[in-house]
Structure 1
Amino acid sequence: MSTVWQDIVRNAISLRRELHQHPELGWQEQGTAERIRQQLSALDIPWRVCAKTGTVACLNAGSSGRHIALRGDIDALPIVEQTELDWASHTSGCMHACGHDGHTATLIATASWLKAHEAELPGPVTLIFQPAEEGGHGAREMIHDGALENVDEIFGWHNWPALPFGELICPDGIVMCGNGTFSIRVIGQGGHASQPELCRDPVLGASAITLALQQVVSRRLAPQASAVLSITSIEAPSAATVIPGEAKLGGSIRVPDENTRQQLNQLIEEIAQQTATAYGLQCEVECHPRYQATINHADAASRVRHCWRQLYGSDAINHSLPVPIMASEDFSYYLREIPGAFALIGADDGNGHDAPCHSAYYDFNDQLIPKVVRLYAALAGAADDQLG
């Protein structure tokens, strides 16, 4: 194992923990972007600003070989961290609870290794440090600002605490579902709690709508459909003796394709309206599309699996976890533009890295960094004979 490789991994872990201490929400990642650009400049890798807080760098730019891109996301979440780790967040109410700090550090480590072997690369390699993955459509804005210019193929990954450490999922076709949100305003007539007959109770109506909608997937879609509909919030603030005038519901859907999205959105509208009418109420429904499903291209996914098997053996490919995963990813934007693949890689090593993404107790498993750098190096065609 080379000293250079050991230094790259050690520096990446240090950077990851530094980023974890200073998380920034989507489209606010100025400090994170500055650190990324400092690292790239120190490596003498040219970069440019892309989509405000995003950064695009390129190695071996003059080559005529196949041009691949590697992506890391950089934003954090509005979560109060509860880990009490030495590198816990210093920013109140903000936390890297999804591992984007680790994805960023891994891409910087990859940049270090590829720069040391730039002359051996068969083609150009673009490094995409993308902001605002968590609902901010950062990938879409990076594409609009030219992040994929002249790129032939793109690869990305996400750590996954629900998988055993080092096991990879990268199927041909859909790997993660699309998503959407909806809001329902239930409008009634408020009044004294002792006189419900003079009121039109929106709390009761909202409760009925909640129960009806939670049965849509099990009773209105085919059992084979990979879909989720969840009511995630109910708001009807009032006093203990007052029936309020309105209530608000919020929720989320997960869908494998746009036909299922349209079907679910139509059912949400119909069921909410008809249930409200049955309770003497009115309602307003708004459905908001977010991300489409993340759908791998077969050739690219096959290459990822081949490289992982070559590096870590056939047992490192997971065949047991059902796909698609119901979580969503804006990497889907890239895969709608050019060929590529997105992988999930297990983080659970039995040493406290099983807290799910978006949990206040989550922490990225730093031991994933060298494993994924080796994958990225293999995809880029860089030498790995000295890698650990």
Structure 2
Amino acid sequence: MAFAKCFTSFLLVLCVFVPTLVLSDLSITSSNFLEHANKPEVFDWMVGIRNDLHECPELLYDVFETSERVRQELDNLKIPYKSSVAKTGVIGYVGTMEEPFVALRADMDGLPIHEMVEWEHKSKIDGKMHACGHDAHTAMLLGASKILKEHEKELQGTVLLVFQPAEEGGAGAREVWKTGLLKEVKAIFGLHVAPDVPVGVVGSRAGDFMAGSGTFEAVITGEGGHAAQPHMGIDPVVAAANVIISLQHLISREAEPGDPQVVTVAKLEGSDAFNVIPNTVTIGGSFRAFSTIRHLRRRIEEVIVAQAAVSKCNAAVNFFEDVKPLYPAVNNNEKLYDHFKNVATQMLGPQRVLEAPQVTVSEDFAFYQEELPGLFFFLGIKNETHGEEPVHSAHFDIAQDAFPYGAALHASLATTYLSDVLGSQGKQYPRDEL
């Protein structure tokens, strides 16, 4: 997940807001999934998988060992699957193998971060770490897979179990969609662990939830020279300074106050000497917005090029579309959000199901939502000793007693969605098989 701050605003909502929900008539087609997920044979199994994955983090599409472990567990559960999806992804199938189809998604990749948490299952690979909880996501979806398989005869359709590579900047979701394996899916659900939010608490919202994001780099070119004679050259350092300030005006003077947007310049490279004006200066950073993300991208390029020209410099802007594609915003389907609230409230109680605030972090789950209805939610992972550190931190950790909640919610969201779809649509449409 492309974000690096904890959800402190989400925790504030927890402290001040208790939602009042009117529950619909929801027929749970399974037994108590949360009780099932808390059984030692399920809980300990999930924890063991997560610990093993945590020791061997892999990046982007190169999640070969992680993918192999997922396939081994699906084999043990006698769940059929397709492998090598978007290189290393895996999609399992539980149910009738006929429509309606609903999907559950977990991402599998880690981050290029050196772990600083000292514990028994610390990363064994220097410079790589599961600092965003994808190892836990994978373990929880496997937990849901186990529950669903044990209740397979009760399923009124088919659940696709999507284990996805390359969420962290690689747009793995986009590549999974391109395979065509999800084209018959009616809805997709996903979750992300939320630091600083108590175990047993979940949150989401309808509509715009998480911002889209992109990355940019600009090389500003002038004419270098001696610091004592700036008039003899064209100073790209001053041009870069003006560009950086002008980029902030996109937010303070162009963005609508009620529309969250962010432009952050985090990279600035010029001369390594105190008395040399360089020929070029490189700046880079990221930008985030909701429905205006593509407009913001266009304006960033316009401002950089035009402002550099004011200082008699040239500028070339790179948005790295091949390796860091623009992520759209996570936009939750309203009907699926109502479905999520009903299911989660029946399982957890209304005080533990929150309307989360919009956040300007991003998530490639949005690529699925551009193609089919989807719902993404946050799962609390904090207890008395774990879960306070933000994601993308070398000190990130998780309270593992959160795992049954994630597994049970996955399973319940899928089973009840299938029964609702089948109940509302009946058999008025031709049945497709996978």
How many Å separate the matches in 1 of 2:146 and 2:171? 28
Unpaired runs of at least 5, structure 2: 1-34, 417-434
Look up the match of 1:252: 286
8 A Cα contact 2:209 2:357, kept in partner: no
1:285 alignment partner in structure 2: 317
Identify the residue that residue 307 of structure 1 maps to in structure 2. Answer: 343
Within a 5 Å distance, the mapping from 1:167-178 to structure 2 comes to 167-178=201-212
Q: Among 145, 162, 178, which residue is 1:111 paired with?
A: 145
* 1:348–1:354 CA contact under 8 A, matched in 2: yes
Q: Is the 8 A contact 2:205 2:357 kept in 1?
A: no
Displacement of 1:166 after TM fit? 2.8
2:127 counterpart residue number: 93
Correspondence list, 1:8-27, <5 A: 8-27=42-61
2:238 to 204, 209, 220: 204
The answer to whether the Cα contact below 8 Å between 1:169 and 1:343 also exists between their aligned partners in 2 is: yes
CA-based RMSD of the aligned residues comes to 1.9
Residue in 2 that maps onto 1:61: 96
- Please, what TM-score do these two structures have when normalized by structure 1? 0.92
Q: Residues 3 and 29 from structure 1, CA distance in 2 versus in 1: closer, same or farther, beyond 3 angstroms?
A: closer
The answer to whether 1:329 aligns with 2:327 is no
Write the distance in 1 (CA, Å) between the matches of 2:305 and 2:183: 46
Q: 1:271 aligns with which of 299, 303, 310?
A: 303
Query: Equivalences for 1:334-349 in 2 at 5 Å?
Result: 334-349=368-383
Cα shift at 1:162: 4.3
* Offset of residue 254 of structure 1: 0.8
Q: For residue 195 of structure 2, what is the aligned residue in structure 1?
A: 161
Task: Summarize the alignment of residues 213-224 of structure 1 with structure 2, pairs less than 5 Å apart.
Answer: 213-224=247-258
Which digits, 9 at most, give the CA deviation of each residue in 1:189-227, with x for residues without a partner?
Answer: 112222222222212221221122123211221111121
Counterpart-to-counterpart distance in 2, 1:106 and 1:133 = 17
Separation in structure 2 between the aligned mates of residue 263 and residue 296 of structure 1, nearest angstrom: 21
Aligned to 2:225: 191
Shift of 1:2: 6.3
Q: 1:293 to 1:57 in 2, by over 3 A?
A: same
Q: Which stretch shows the higher mean deviation, 33-42 or 261-270?
A: 261-270
Residues 1:232 and 2:266 are matched in the alignment = yes
Partner SS state of residue 153, structure 1: strand
Code of the residue aligned with 2:204 in structure 1: it is C
Deviations 1:273-309 (A, max 9, x none): 3322232322122345511111111111111111111
Does structure 1 retain, via aligned residues, the 8 Å contact 2:210–2:362? yes
Which SS does the other structure have where 2:185 is aligned?
Answer: coil
The CA deviation string for residues 121-146 of structure 1, in whole angstroms up to 9 with x for no partner, is 22211100000011111111111223
1:311 partner amino acid: M
Query: Partner of 1:318: helix, strand, or coil?
Result: strand
- Picking from 18, 41, 50, the partner of 2:75 is 41
Structure 1 contact 63–123 (Cα < 8 Å) conserved: yes
How does 1:135-150 map onto structure 2 within 5 Å?
A: 135-150=169-184
Cα distance 1:215–1:367, how it changes in 2: closer, same or farther (>3 A)? farther
Deviates more, 1:371-380 or 1:96-105: 371-380
Against the structure 1 CA distance between its residues 255 and 162, is the aligned structure 2 distance closer, same or farther, given a 3 Å change threshold? farther
Residues 338 and 266 (structure 1), Cα distance of their counterparts in 2 relative to 1, 3 Å cut: closer
Q: Deviations over 1:301-359 (max 9, x none)?
A: 1111111111111111224x421x11111111211222221111222334231211111
8 A contact 1:214–1:231 mirrored in 2: no
1:68 Cα deviation after fit:
1.2
Residue of structure 1 in register with 2:11 after alignment: none
- Kept in 1, the 8 Å contact 2:381–2:400? The answer is no
**5+ long unaligned stretches in structure 1:** 383-388
Q: TM (normalized to structure 2)?
A: 0.83
Is the 1:128–1:147 Cα contact (8 Å) retained in structure 2? no
- Residue 164 of structure 1 and its aligned partner are, at CA, apart by 3.5
Change beyond 3 A, Cα 1:271–1:52: closer
Q: Is the 8 A contact 1:121 1:380 kept in 2?
A: no
C-alpha distance in 2 between matches for 1:369 and 1:24:
21
